[in-house]
């Protein structure tokens, strides 16, 4: 279920997102940022994680540029996080593919992320709640590659999400 769908260029985007996140985040929230810095379009999660860590965000954050959570380590990473924070609520953050008209939208959802779905991978669901940034369109002919995504765009999306989380706490 969508709690928010808002474009990152909208003037009041951080106000909208942070007001919804205030109702989601609690003292037992753990942030899990998914992705890799080896593909610009998939670097959204680790960028957000790094920004939160560098801002002394008061809740646990996993998945940064330095220590990403990606397809090759997601099973063991999620297992470790769940064992360390067994009674916590997880807020997962990831890049997502969608329709061309939704590129640039940030969505807050009740329910988990399905990492890798847009590129044909079957990975474990993550999150009680999730934040996704639509970074590119799904290309049915070539589902396994992000198209021509600019780093500046991913950076702006990441800054918007990180600032919204910081304002919510």
pLDDT of 141 over the 80 cut: no
Q: Are 113 and 78 in contact (CB under 8 A)?
A: no
Which helix (H) or strand (E) segment is 135 a member of? Answer: strand 129-137
Give the end-to-end CA distance of the chain in Å, rounded to a whole number.
23
Q: Where are the strands (E) in 18-87, listed by range?
A: 29-33, 61-62
Buried b (16+ CB within 10 A) or exposed e, 68-105: bbbeeebeebbeebeeebeebebbbbbbbbbeeeebbb
- The number of C-alpha atoms within 13 Å of 133 and in the hemisphere containing its C-beta is 32
Q: Please choose, from the candidates 56, 160, 53, the residue with its C-alpha nearest in 3D space to the C-alpha of residue 108.
A: 160
Architecture of the CATH domain 2-168:
3-Layer(aba) Sandwich (3.40)
Contacts of 95 (CB under 8 A, 6+ apart): 35, 41, 42, 43, 44, 45, 132, 133, 135, 154
Contacts of 87 (CB under 8 A, 6+ apart): 28
DSSP β-ladder status, 105-110 and 61-62: unpaired
Percentages helix, strand, coil for the chain (3-state, rounded to 5) are: 35, 25, 40
Check residue 1 and give its pLDDT: 81
pLDDT of 143 over the 60 cut: no
Cα 167 from Cα 79, distance rounded (Å): 29
Q: Are 133 and 95 in contact (CB under 8 A)?
A: yes
Indicate the average pLDDT of the chain: 92
At 108-122, the pLDDT tens digits run 999 999 877 766 677
pLDDT of 129 over the 60 cut: yes
At 86-96, the pLDDT tens digits run 999 999 999 99
């Amino acid at each position: 279920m969508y709690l928010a769908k808002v474009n990152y260029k909208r003037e009041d985007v951080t106000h909208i997102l942070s007001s919804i996140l205030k109702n989601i985040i609690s003292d037992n929230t753990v942030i899990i940022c998914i992705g890799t810095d080896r593909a610009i379009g998939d670097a959204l999660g680790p960028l957000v994680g790094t920004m939160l860590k560098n801002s002394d965000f008061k809740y646990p954050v996993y998945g940064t540029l330095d220590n990403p959570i990606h397809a090759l380590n997601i099973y063991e990473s999620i297992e470790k996080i769940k064992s360390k924070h067994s009674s916590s609520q997880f807020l997962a953050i990831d890049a997502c593919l969608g329709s061309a008209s939704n590129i640039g939208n940030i969505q807050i959802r009740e329910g988990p992320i399905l990492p890798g779905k847009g590129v044909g991978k079957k990975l474990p669901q993550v999150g009680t709640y999730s934040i996704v940034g639509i970074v590119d369109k799904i290309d049915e002919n070539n589902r396994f590659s992000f198209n021509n995504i600019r780093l500046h765009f991913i950076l702006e999306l990441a800054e918007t999400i990180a600032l919204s989380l910081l304002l919510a706490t």
